[in-house]
Amino acid sequence: MDRIAVLGAGAWGTALAHIAAENGKRVTLWAREPEVVADINEKRRNTLFLPDVELNGSIAATNDQAAALADAQAVLLVIPAQHLRASCQTLRSVWKQGLPAVLCAKGIEEKTGSLLSEILAQELPQARVAVLSGPTFAEEAALGKPTALTLACADETLGKELVKTLGTKTFRPYYSADVTGVQIGGAVKNVMAIAAGIVAGRRLGDNARAALITRGLAEIARFAVALGGQAQTFMGLSGLGDLVLTANSTQSRNFTVGLELGKGRSLSDILGEKRTVAEGVFTARAVLERAAAAGVEMPICEGLSRIMNGQSSVDDIVASLFTRPFKSEN
């Protein structure tokens, strides 16, 4: 596969376009914002979302989705989870039968609780679906710093072809067949990252953060297995790897939201200052509703949701978690 379309020119979409172009692929990058298209084509920069990376000169930016897809052999969908359904409905008429769609955003649709692959199955059934997820900060990956992640696809032949297409000397995808588990790892770790940020902002200590990450991973795995995911996925890059990265760095949008919540600020004030999306805010409620339907208990997600909604204080949630009945770890 030599011709790649990337839909979504935020930091991650721009980084993926740059990595593919640096690897000799012919890349078309679709951006919603006309100023981003002009910036990339004229200055080889995405000043709005990835300002510190000089982009490969062969990237062609456009705000015409049909033109971006015209001769693509694979499409990287880097559209925020809450906007994916509407985008797929727009794309349906121009999407060729069998054209691979690689989901590169992380999240669960708030209104329906749908995984992103489920949205594609409903709205873009002619696409062959894969998922790219793992511990990645866009700028580091774009600058060529060593990055490893997971590419999941039910079709092993297609999945391994995409691994070869996207992989470089510094950007290393590993193949997995667990499309459900990889998506859930990427989506729900955003929720746990907000909780980890609260721990840091409230200065509850490193012991508490380690406990939060470990028990949070257990919650994510329980939820995924109930939906058909594989438990072993969560010992890999799209599970443990992604959670460790996102729950420990101020480069993470979700962690920084939690950090400010832990300092006592309101969620509405925090989000009002941000241009980019912290998907964990939207994912939390969807996760809880779907987990309840599956009979899965998720006390950390539930506690975080109550904090974000202003129903409980951080101190009250910490106390409630630590006064739950004692139980076996596994």
Give the pLDDT score at 60.
Answer: 97
Residues forming a β-bridge with 108 = 115
Q: Do residues 310 and 228 both lie within one domain?
A: yes
What pLDDT shows up at residue 281? 84
Q: What is the mean pLDDT of the chain?
A: 94
Give the pLDDT confidence score for residue 328 in this predicted structure. Answer: 86
Q: Write down the pLDDT at residue 277.
A: 64
- CB count within 10 Å of CB 304 equals 27
- State which of 177, 210, 236 marks the end of a domain: 177
Q: According to the model, what pLDDT value does residue 210 have?
A: 94
Q: Which two tokens stand for residue 8?
A: 């979504």
**160 catalytic, yes or no?**
no
Q: What is the pLDDT of residues 232-289, one digit of tens each?
A: 999 999 999 999 999 999 999 899 999 999 998 888 888 887 666 677 888 888 999 9
Q: Answer yes or no: do 149 and 30 share one domain.
A: yes
Answer yes or no: do 50 and 90 share one domain: yes
pTM for the model stands at: 0.93
Give the structural domain span for 225: 180-322
**Predicted pLDDT of residue 327:** 86
Residues 6+ apart with CB under 8 A from 201: 258, 259, 260, 261, 262, 263
Mean pLDDT, residues 217-242:
96
Nearest partner of 166 among 178, 190, 148, 179, judged by Cα: 148
Cα–Cα nearest to 14, from 34, 31, 1, 26:
31
> Rounded mean pLDDT of 76-105?
96
Residue 21 lies in a domain: yes
CATH number of the domain within which 258 lies = 1.10.1040.10
Residue 224, in any domain of the structure: yes
The amino acid at residue 100 is P
Of 146, 177, 208, the last residue of a domain is 177
Q: State whether 234 and 114 are in the same domain.
A: no
Q: Please give the Cα distance from 35 to 42 (Å, whole number).
A: 10
What's the Cα-to-Cα distance from 4 to each of 18, 30, 122, 157, 208, rounded to whole Å? 11, 11, 24, 18, 43
Residue 52 near residue 44 (C-beta atoms within 8 A): no
Q: pLDDT tens digit string along 167-178?
A: 999 999 999 999
Choice among 96, 111, 160, 189 that is catalytic: 189
pLDDT tens-digit profile of 114-137?
999 999 999 999 999 999 999 999
Q: Sorting pLDDT into bands at 50, 70 and 90, what band is 204?
A: very high
